[in-house]
Structure 1
């Protein structure tokens, strides 16, 4: 399928300035793209199909949202050629332009600036991991051979602009700190991996660019977590990543205050609850049960309890807790649920629970019993 072409003039006429740094970097919105124009004497490190690595000659960096026809094209065509053509359409020199691809909407970009004295750090992030969120070390989803592979969507793209002068090694250290900060944002949101039961550390196609000002007399040599530059990088990236994920994926503290959402990464869904209610209790009214389940699921007390139980499962998978000790503790915790919700009746746990089954199966049994008894 051919890509729908746009005329260069149409791109130029649609440029809209949405942000400008104090040192002259200009961020434009144009259609399904964001373009960051760089003044002269900027150096950068960037993970990109075109003009990636360490550069001192880039004029611009773009972030382009793919439409379906473009995705279809990229599954059979070369990505670098497509990106060079995208740069040309924007009126940029493809030899001095780099960029990223995503399916995230440019309306959901987050731009956060943090300052301390003479240091200014700006993070520009688009983020979406509802399809492609993964955890480092998950089983691979493709094998690349001679540049050919299946194109995946869902990406966190980060551009970090620092107003000070950073060497190549300091730029790389800045990249390390920024990637850690992105992971902090995902960990604090308990973003699920789509390829394992773990918490995501990113998407499978994330990209990042770090830009510094070689004209600045403020030469910084450290960007680690102990440095003020590292602190500003961390704070700006965490805030921008969270803000963009909230806009794009509705991933935020409110959406995560839901038992069913927390259970998704363990492949537990409402149908598992209904099947148990129907088979164990002959519950006749699925619609009413599902309404009660979703109300129960959003109770902050329930979410806090299930989060504690799921963390025990995580600790077991990490080798930090023995399976026996974690399961025994989890069973003890879930037995507190009726009292926590002020239900006078107490189930017969000897009949309700089976310690030979998994923690999750036993949780479904206890929480289903509570749901059915809360409505009476």
Structure 2
């Protein structure tokens, strides 16, 4: 089926768990694809493929020695020329793809994204999970944010390359706005370990663009369309939205705090309460405005400590103020167990424990007086 018609006349087809874009004319492509990637002027099509094997099964696509199988799929199942096609792979269903288009004067930009952080969302600079040497490496899991950007104008090679920078900044900006957590640290994710970008320009256009930075209209359109597409696809595929992030548990998740952390602490400070009842009460609190805002402030102190923007002393000063406000809201007393002599990791954990204990003291008091949270 056709899901989009581009300003160049090219059409975006969905079939065989892929989004396929055959080119009607000459196109310039800059991509991070491992097959026919880099700068190319000879490609006849690009596509994005869902390679999700299903729950609990290993992705065959990630294993070494799959080149012939991939080649046969391109030729036999997609009807494409193996030597003139670039592609991307993901575990995201093509039903979760988002297509965003905007036109300014005679310039039209379309961004198509499939986005997920469920498997390998991470923050740049974290410890790697693979190492490549002389052509051999350990395969990465395809969680993946894949982005295609189509421009109806011609672009210089440098402009195409700069477009990848702009698209990547846009993707990361969305993750920062959503406070999407890394799966490998307490940091905010900047992407997944297997993200890909393709920029496709119309080489037959008489309008040749040279700049794709954020100060130019091309960069603005690329940035906004990529942001909108990535944001929509994250919501479609994994329910990651502004609304889902308005949550105490969501804000604390990347620091290892879960509903069970609260449930266990509630049972510790209030004997006789069941884990189910404790967790149920935590979920009642989870999205309350005051709780979410205080949690957000508290967690951001820990972030700034890890970035070196605030000292332990500064974080302790502000953390105690937040906990006191939290305790007053929960009609209880604040807990503070952080020790200035501990190393930073232990100190952060003590701060988290203080937060959880303060919340749970309020819950325990509500249980003991038969009040609703």
Q: How does 1:273-352 map to 2 (within 5 A)?
A: 273-339=262-328, 341=329, 345-347=331-333, 349=334, 352=335
Say whether the 8 Å CA contact 1:186–1:201 is kept in structure 2.
yes
Greater shift in the superposed pair: 279-288 or 122-131? 279-288
Match of 2:32 in 1: 47
Deviation at 1:258, TM superposition (A): 1.1
TM-score by length of 2: 0.91
TM-score by length of 1: 0.90
Say whether the 8 Å CA contact 1:158–1:208 is kept in structure 2.
yes
| 1:179 pairs with 2:162 | no
Hey, what's the Cα distance between the residues in 2 that align with 1:51 and 1:315? Answer: 41
| 1:370 pairs with 2:362 | yes
**Runs (5+) with no aligned partner, structure 1:** 1-15
Match 1:36 to one of 21, 32, 44: 21
Greater shift in the superposed pair: 213-222 or 131-140? 213-222
Greater shift in the superposed pair: 82-91 or 185-194? 82-91
Match of 1:355 in 2: 338
Hey, what's the Cα distance between the residues in 1 that align with 2:58 and 2:156? Answer: 36
Match of 2:342 in 1: none
Hey, what's the Cα distance between the residues in 2 that align with 1:85 and 1:151? Answer: 22
Match of 1:68 in 2: 53
Q: How does 1:79-90 map to 2 (within 5 A)?
A: 79-88=66-75, 89-90=77-78
Per-residue displacement from partner, 1:225-264 (whole Å, max 9, x unpaired)? 1111110000000000000000001000111111111111
Match of 1:78 in 2: 65
Match of 1:234 in 2: 223
Say whether the 8 Å CA contact 1:50–1:80 is kept in structure 2.
no
Would the alpha carbon gap of residues 227 and 80 (structure 1) be closer, same or farther in structure 2, given more than 3 Å must change?
farther
Match of 1:265 in 2: 254
| 1:169 pairs with 2:197 | no
SS in 2 for 1:223: coil
Match of 2:146 in 1: 157
Hey, what's the Cα distance between the residues in 1 that align with 2:78 and 2:16? Answer: 10
Per-residue displacement from partner, 1:1-36 (whole Å, max 9, x unpaired)? xxxxxxxxxxxxxxx111111211210000311101
Deviation at 1:79, TM superposition (A): 4.6
Would the alpha carbon gap of residues 178 and 276 (structure 1) be closer, same or farther in structure 2, given more than 3 Å must change?
same
| 1:252 pairs with 2:241 | yes
Match of 2:43 in 1: 58
RMSD value, Cα: 1.7
SS in 1 for 2:182: coil
Deviation at 1:71, TM superposition (A): 4.8
Say whether the 8 Å CA contact 2:146–2:197 is kept in structure 1.
yes
The count of residues paired between Structure 1 and Structure 2 equals 355
Deviation at 1:180, TM superposition (A): 0.3
